[in-house]
Structures are given as structure tokens and as C-alpha cells.
Amino acid sequence: MSTRLSIIVTALLALVTAGCITISLFPQAMPLREKTVQGTAADKILMMDISGVISEKGSSNPLSESEDLVARIKEELTLAAEDSHIKALLLRINSPGGTVTASDVIHHEINEFKSKRKIPVVAVIMDIGASGGYYVAVAADQIIAHPTSVTGSVGVIMLRVNAEGLLQKIGVEAGAIKSGPKKDIGSPFRPMSEEERAIFQSMINGFQSRFLEVVTKGRKTLPADQLKLIADGRVLTGPQAVQSGLVDQIGYLDDGIVAARKLAGLADARVVTYVRPGAYKNNIYSQAPGTSTLEALANLDIMGLVRGGTPQFLYLWMP
């Protein structure tokens, strides 16, 4: 047997050396597959993770498991739309938010899924469900927050890097030949004028209006005075969010499962999630790979978010 194994290994090495076989050090992502994490019933509740910073940009590190969250959510919802046994959607949210557009796209996709499948959606906020994370949550029919959750942060922030002083220190001068005076608005290589600041403020106000519109549509019972109060961007604990009308109740992930089952009119249901081959999940708290919210905040790539200097509009709580 050892002689045969030696011959096989030698043959494989010869093929690799000859270029007939290629071995990838960074395997490509495989299609998602269903994994049951709780229960045995035929009817299913799909648990979907909204974790980490919400962005269409995956990790640039080939060793990282992080992937494009927007594409991942779309892939999961497409699979779920084809499965008639899925009777409810449970959003497990652990995110401080992210880019304006990525947050809005995920919110839109969830609403489209609800409209087509006519099934209830329940959101459970874990550690953090702030700003863009909360923006996504209001697509749900019911929102549950942990007693220790942080949510709110209804607002917009624009990140801009000013590298003018740094360039002056190292003796580098940047210039632009442009077709109009506002063509390089937001450039990190020169000061921002008051007129340009007013233009950006107008855009931010528009994105804020969009945020408030989404919250108003999703939280029809939210009093107008409370909406005005939280529109300053403040964060709240779970209990404070319940008092303000941003969240329906305090509870845990199991309470979210019970709520989803009740809204779907099910006596019993098993909880499933979608995973890549090789991923290990054995219960409802098993975390999605590479999506730790606290880690994402600690390692937040500011320059990556602002694309090397270009202003970026964010629904993001970033203390």
C-alpha cells in the first residue's frame, strides 16, 4: 500500500510540475447550501445574518472569509424565494451600519422578498443594530432587541480626508485641471469652501430625509415627536428603543423564533441558515464567518471606506 501511495504522490507531483494540474491556495467560494440549526419540522424559518459593516466591498485580504454582504443577501433571498417550505424570515442583526447605498439596497431586497413570498419578517438586534443596521431592521414586521443591545443612530455622516497639510510637509503639491469650479468638489488635496460644504450638507439632508421616510413607513406606530427626537443621531439601549417606539419588545433570539413562528401561523418549524461548504454551524448563535461587529469596528478601514480620499456618505455609527 505504501508503494502504491508513493507512486500516486509522485505522479501527482509530476502533473503539477508539468502544469497539468493547478492547486489554488485560495479556493473560490462555493454555492450556499442549507444547514438546519434547530428543530426537525418540515416548515422552515430562514435565519439570515446582517453582520459587520454594511458594504458592497468584501475583504481585500485573500486570507479573510469576509464577502460582499449585499451579494450574499441577494443570493440567500434568491434561494429562499424558490423554497416553498420557508414560511418566515428571521434577520439576525449585528451591525453598526455602513454605506448609504448598501444599506438601502439590502432594505429594498428584503421588502421585495416580502412582497413576492408574502411571509413575515422578524428582526432581532444582537450587540448593535445602529444606523444602517437599524435601516435594514425596519423592513421587518417586528423588531426585537436584546436588553443590552445598542440601536438608533438614525442619521448620515460623510467622511472626508484632508491631506493638504500632509502633502505640504513632505513637499508635494497636488493640482487639478478641471472643466468647472466644482468638478473636484470634496478633493482631499485642498480646503473645502463654504459653498461646497453647503452642497454636501444639502446632499446629507436628502439622505437623512430618505432615512426618516424609511423609518416612518416601517414603524407606522412611531410617534412623530419621538421620530424628531431620535433624528439627531443618538444611540439608545434596547429598553430605551422600546420606550421610543423604535423596537417592539425586549427579548432574545429564541423570542425572535417564537415571534416568526407565530406571525407565520406555524405550530412548529425548524430554523435553517445558508452556509458555504466547510462552514460549521451547530446552533442559532453560531456566528457567520468573518463578520464580528466589534472586530469590524476595531479594524474599520477608514481609507477604504472613503476610497482613498473621495467623500463617502454613510449610515454608520462610528464613535
Beta pairing class for 150-152 and 121-130: parallel
Chain Cα centroid distance, residue 318: 15
User: Which residues touch 42 (CB under 8 Å, ≥6 apart)?
Assistant: 85, 270
**Residues 161, 190: Cα–Cα separation, whole Å:** 10
Reply yes or no on whether 131 is catalytic. Answer: yes
Sign of CA dihedral 282, 284, 286, 290: positive
* Of residues 33, 15, 14, the one with CA closest to residue 280: 33
Which single residue is written with the C-alpha cell 433570539?
253
* Angle (nearest 5°) at CA 114 between 241 and 80: 110
Q: What are phi and psi of 308, to 5 degrees?
A: 75, 15
Catalytic residue among 131, 149, 153, 244: 131
Residues with Cβ within 8 Å of residue 7, at least 6 apart in sequence? none
Q: Which residue in 116, 178, 182, 183 is the catalytic one?
A: 183
**Rounded distance between C-alpha atoms, residue 14 and residue 18, angstroms:** 6
Residues 6+ apart with CB under 8 A from 36: 270, 271, 272
Distances (CA, A) of 134 to 126, 164, 167, 184: 11, 36, 39, 33
Q: Name the maximum alpha-carbon separation found in the chain.
A: 80
Using CA atoms, how far apart are residues 104 and 112, in angstroms rounded to an integer? 12
Residue type, 154: V
Query: Which residues are marked as active site?
Result: 131, 183
